[in-house]
Amino acid sequence: MLRFIQVIVCNLPRFYMIPKMAYKAKHAERYSEEECYAYAKLAIRRMMRAGHITTKKYGMENLPAEGGYIMFPNHQGKYDALGIMYAHEKPCSVVIDDAKSHGILVKQFIDLVHGKRMVKEDLKQSIKIIKELAEDTKNGRRFIIFPEGGYYRNHNTVGVFKPGSFKSAVKAKVPIVPVALIDSYKAFEEWSLRPVETQVHFLKSISYEEYKDMTTVQIADMVRDRIVNAINKVLSPA
């Protein structure tokens, strides 16, 4: 949290970026998805510089070269989606809890990347978002969904994955990309200003043909196991 405060204070001279994000988000006819994403990544890089955050990226060759897909990472804190976007070259977006998406800067950022807001307590709205995600990924868009549903000071320990998180991928028949985050919690969840290094590992994508005969429970377990194994290999090498 202390680092988050430092990031805000150091970037006060760049406060103009917030209304500019809102403007670009409202004028899709003027600004392409690529242009909006580039501006979002500029904001991320400036935040990283102010917060003394370094993110190393691995496995970019595992990302599908064409078409839409959904990335499923473990969840550690507020920096997770930003770290993935920093590491992800092509435009991608994120599914976020509606209750956490309306604060200053967060709202403008989510609008800029055309993110999806899900109201967890509203089943009808959640089903609508699942259908939208399926349609968008069919049309080539890429999304980040956190299947743990939240983060609970779990650091590099991975919680249970919610099977319902995978319904959009199944419905759209698009590849699933497991993403292993390491030390991502150190960015904004620790009370420290020391330089931190986080890691983003894009694991081998899972095609629809590989998971089409599986239940969402089985898919959730498979994706979680791959992420846990990847984290363990980095933190506890043989």
Per-position pLDDT tens, the chain of length 238: 788 888 888 989 999 999 999 999 999 999 999 999 999 999 999 999 999 999 999 999 999 999 999 999 999 999 999 999 999 999 999 999 999 999 989 999 999 999 999 998 899 999 999 999 999 999 999 999 999 988 888 899 999 999 999 999 999 999 999 999 999 999 998 888 899 999 999 999 999 999 999 999 999 999 999 999 999 999 987 6
Check residue 118 and give its pLDDT.
Answer: 95
Q: Is residue 209 part of a domain?
A: yes
Q: Is residue 238 part of a domain?
A: no
Q: Are 109 and 43 in contact (CB under 8 A)?
A: yes
Domain that holds residue 213: 2-233
- Sequence-distant (≥ 6) Cβ neighbours of residue 83 within 8 angstroms: 55, 181, 184, 187, 198, 200
Check residue 44 and give its pLDDT.
Answer: 98
Q: Is residue 180 part of a domain?
A: yes
CATH number reported for the structural domain that contains residue 212 in this entry: 3.40.1130.10
Q: Is residue 35 part of a domain?
A: yes
- Sequence-distant (≥ 6) Cβ neighbours of residue 161 within 8 angstroms: 72, 147, 148, 220, 221, 223, 224
- Domains contained in the chain, number: 1
Check residue 16 and give its pLDDT.
Answer: 95
Check residue 87 and give its pLDDT.
Answer: 98
Q: Is residue 10 part of a domain?
A: yes
Check residue 238 and give its pLDDT.
Answer: 64
CA torsion sign, 213 to 70 to 95 to 25?
Answer: negative
Tally of CB atoms within 10 A around 12: 7
